[in-house]
């Protein structure tokens, strides 16, 4: 029993409430945001360290016994996700200070931001399937608020599609929970998993699993449910786009990995093979979308989809190495994607635009920006020695070891197209004759806008050069995921 599990969630909730009370004092809200995001890093690292040394951490809300009350449960995977959430929140907050228009900042921006992060952290911390639904709701409504904040016509239009399609997914979530509860008579995930293991391969449970696959695939923007993502993320304000792009869809991925390693594991011939196909199509169609675009932010938005395919590839392979690759990839992706969106923002702060039609040739005047982008971009494409290479290689090796040739080939082809589209951004935005407008700002401002991305790039490099440590952690995480008995034992066996 440890309260540590709840702290990252409660920290965000508490920060949000305090900021709501101080809604007229933007400076105080900013200070709180900064302090809280730093404290979040410390708490999540502490939590993960505790899990590393003394196993899965469990806490029951209100002290009601398992499985009757709501259980919070954090294994290494949850802990890692919370660390990543805290890190990108921190870098986003740094950037938001520079790049959020004042009117929006005054309109409950910070409280809702932290409510959203509370939802995100709760998704990682909860061990209760209905509570997960609640966490998703908190996240969804807050994200919609942030998306629509200070909005113009197209932003509202795309935001509405986002809201509606996600609400449909939420309704299916509810239906799925109802079915699962009907069949197992429980909402506690460990309890459900234990019951599913008693009757392995029960078709009702598999059927419920399919509904959950739909739900999390829709939340995580997988084929054929990703329709809401490309345009809506394109219109998300630059300040919070990094957080959206890197974190929100990954909550869906987290949900998918959680239930398909804990509960729905007894019919993997059907479910996980299907996931492999979905993963392959997702990465392929995502990257095809990306190479069809001629806009910095639009390319990046499509790439989110493509990369989620890789994570699902690891889950679909359903081996320790495959899941370790997926975990490594998620960590890499969250850091790098966040960095790329920050760079897109920092670039459009100079050019006032993200469409390549309107500018080019920034390399000569802004080499720091250009090379931070270049390094981050080739990390995304999986060029060594950055983090992306080891993550992708772990997945490739897992596929080869399993003899999954199709997905192995697709992953290599997608890597190629990824590099092509990253090079396209680099060529169009940074190479060539300087053209387009340049918004004049002082040097301090430029450095402040660039530094969050540099921090993230440094993390990507560290995750690549320290690949051995990352891989050790990822393998330990995958080991926990592949052995649901550990999770069940931690929750139920007390």
- Binders of other proteins among residues 80 to 119 (CB under 8 A) are 103, 107-108, 111-112, 115, 118-119
Q: Which is nearer to other proteins, 94 or 239 (CB)?
A: 239
Taking CB under 8 A as the criterion, the residue among 181, 436, 446, 486 binding other proteins is: 181
Task: Find the helix packing angle between 367-381 and 443-465, rounded to 10°.
Answer: 30
- Listed in sequence order, the residues at least 6 apart from 329 whose beta carbon sits closer than 8 Å to its beta carbon are 307, 310, 311, 314, 391, 392, 394, 395
Map the footprint of other proteins across residues 328-357, applying CB under 8 A.
none
Taking CB under 8 A as the criterion, the residue among 84, 211, 257, 275 binding other proteins is: 211
Q: Which is nearer to other proteins, 204 or 446 (CB)?
A: 204
Provide the 10 A C-beta neighbour count for residue 151.
16
Among residues 321, 196, 339, the alpha carbon closest in space to that of 263 is found at: 196
Q: How far is the CB of 51 from other proteins (least distance, A)?
A: 20
Provide the 10 A C-beta neighbour count for residue 45.
15
- DSSP state, 128? B
Map the footprint of other proteins across residues 218-247, applying CB under 8 A.
218, 224-225, 227-228, 230-231
278, two tokens: 């979905």
- Does position 467 bind other proteins by CB under 8 A? yes
Q: Which is nearer to other proteins, 321 or 335 (CB)?
A: 321
Say how far apart CA 412 and CA 280 lie, in whole Å: 11
Say how far apart CA 312 and CA 322 lie, in whole Å: 10
Taking CB under 8 A as the criterion, the residue among 100, 187, 251, 342 binding other proteins is: 187
Q: Which is nearer to other proteins, 33 or 70 (CB)?
A: 70
Q: Which stretch binds other proteins (CB under 8 A): 40-48, 75-83, 157-165, 232-240?
A: 157-165
- Does position 266 bind other proteins by CB under 8 A? no
Taking CB under 8 A as the criterion, the residue among 15, 36, 58, 67 binding other proteins is: 67
CA 165 to chain CA mean position, Å: 19
- Does position 406 bind other proteins by CB under 8 A? no
Angle at 489 between CA 485 and CA 492, to 5 degrees: 130
Q: What is the largest CA-CA distance in the chain?
A: 67
Q: Which stretch binds other proteins (CB under 8 A): 36-44, 80-88, 253-261, 463-471?
A: 463-471
Q: Which stretch binds other proteins (CB under 8 A): 31-39, 171-179, 258-266, 348-356?
A: 171-179
State how far the alpha carbon of 279 is from the alpha carbons of 212, 298, 412, 472, in Å. 16, 21, 14, 25
- Does position 190 bind other proteins by CB under 8 A? no
Based on its alpha-carbon atoms, the radius of gyration of the chain, rounded to whole angstroms, reads 21
Taking residues 267 to 296 in sequence order and writing x for each that binds other proteins by CB under 8 A, - otherwise, the string is: x--x--------------x--xx-xx----
318 phi-psi bin (left φ>0, alpha ψ -120 to 50, beta other): left
Taking CB under 8 A as the criterion, the residue among 42, 409, 439, 447 binding other proteins is: 409
Taking residues 122 to 141 in sequence order and writing x for each that binds other proteins by CB under 8 A, - otherwise, the string is: x-------xx--xx-xx--x
Half-sphere exposure of 281 (CA within 13 A, CB side): 13
- Does position 389 bind other proteins by CB under 8 A? yes
Q: How far is the CB of 363 from other proteins (least distance, A)?
A: 7
- Does position 492 bind other proteins by CB under 8 A? no
Q: How far is the CB of 441 from other proteins (least distance, A)?
A: 22
Q: How far is the CB of 153 from other proteins (least distance, A)?
A: 10
128, two tokens: 């209760």
Angle at 93 between CA 341 and CA 47, to 5 degrees: 100
Is residue 313 within 8 A of residue 280, CB to CB? The reply is yes
Containing 74, the helix (H) or strand (E) segment is strand 71-74
- Does position 363 bind other proteins by CB under 8 A? yes
Site size toward other proteins, by CB under 8 A: 109
Q: How far is the CB of 337 from other proteins (least distance, A)?
A: 20
SS3 435: strand
SS3 58: strand
Is residue 322 within 8 A of residue 399, CB to CB? The reply is yes
Q: Which is nearer to other proteins, 129 or 257 (CB)?
A: 129
Q: What are phi and psi of 319, to 5 degrees?
A: -125, 165
CA 275 to chain CA mean position, Å: 18
Taking CB under 8 A as the criterion, the residue among 18, 22, 30, 151 binding other proteins is: 151
Q: Which stretch binds other proteins (CB under 8 A): 25-33, 80-88, 307-315, 468-476?
A: 468-476
Half-sphere exposure of 170 (CA within 13 A, CB side): 17
Q: Which stretch binds other proteins (CB under 8 A): 26-34, 35-43, 92-100, 142-150?
A: 142-150
Q: Which stretch binds other proteins (CB under 8 A): 24-32, 77-85, 172-180, 257-265?
A: 172-180
Q: How far is the CB of 231 from other proteins (least distance, A)?
A: 7
């Amino acid at each position: 029993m440890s309260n540590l599990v709840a702290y990252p969630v409660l920290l965000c909730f508490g920060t949000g409430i305090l900021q709501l009370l101080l809604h007229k004092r933007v400076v105080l809200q900013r200070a709180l945001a900064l302090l809280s995001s730093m404290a979040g890093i410390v708490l999540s690292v502490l939590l993960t360290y505790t899990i590393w040394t003394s196993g899965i951490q469990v806490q029951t809300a209100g002290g009601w016994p398992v499985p009757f009350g709501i259980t919070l449960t954090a294994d290494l995977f949850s802990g890692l996700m919370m660390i990543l959430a805290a890190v990108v929140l921190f870098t986003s907050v740094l950037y938001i200070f520079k790049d959020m228009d004042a009117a929006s900042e005054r309109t409950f921006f910070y409280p809702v931001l932290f409510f959203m992060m509370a939802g995100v952290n709760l998704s990682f911390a909860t061990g209760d399937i209905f509570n997960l639904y609640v966490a998703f709701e908190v996240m969804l409504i807050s994200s919609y608020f942030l998306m629509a904040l200070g909005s113009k016509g197209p932003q509202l239009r795309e935001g509405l599609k986002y809201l509606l399609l996600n609400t449909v997914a939420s309704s299916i979530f509810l239906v799925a929970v109802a079915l699962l509860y009907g069949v197992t008579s429980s909402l506690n995930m460990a309890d459900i998993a234990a019951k599913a293991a008693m009757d392995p391969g029960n078709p009702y449970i598999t059927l419920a699993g399919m509904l959950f696959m739909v739900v999390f695939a829709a939340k995580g923007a997988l084929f054929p449910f990703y329709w809401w993502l490309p345009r809506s993320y394109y219109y998300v304000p630059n300040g919070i786009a990094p957080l959206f792009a890197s974190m929100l869809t990954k909550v869906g991925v987290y949900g998918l990995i959680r239930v398909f390693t804990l509960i729905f594991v007894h019919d993997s011939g059907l479910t996980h093979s299907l996931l492999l196909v979905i993963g392959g199509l997702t990465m392929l169609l995502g990257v095809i979308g990306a190479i069809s675009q001629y806009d910095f932010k639009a390319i990046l938005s499509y790439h989110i989809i493509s990369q989620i395919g890789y994570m699902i590839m690891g889950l679909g392979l359903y081996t320790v190495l495959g899941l370790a690759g997926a975990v490594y990839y998620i960590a890499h992706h969250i850091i790098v994607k966040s960095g790329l969106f920050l760079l897109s923002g920092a670039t459009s702060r100079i050019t006032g635009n993200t469409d390549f039609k309107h500018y080019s040739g920034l390399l000569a005047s802004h080499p720091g920006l250009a090379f931070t982008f270049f390094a981050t971009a080739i990390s995304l494409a999986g060029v060594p020695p950055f983090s992306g290479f080891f993550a992708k290689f772990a997945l490739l090796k897992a596929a080869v070891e399993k003899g999954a040739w199709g997905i192995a080939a697709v992953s290599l082809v997608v890597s190629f197209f990824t590099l092509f589209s990253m090079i396209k951004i680099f060529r169009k935005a940074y190479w060539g004759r300087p053209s387009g407008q340049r918004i004049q700002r002082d040097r301090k401002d430029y450095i402040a806008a660039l530094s969050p991305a540099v921090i993230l790039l440094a993390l990507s490099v560290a995750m690549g050069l320290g690949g051995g440590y990352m891989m050790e952690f990822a393998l330990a995480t995958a080991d926990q995921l592949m052995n649901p008995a550990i999770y069940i034992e931690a929750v139920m066996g007390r």
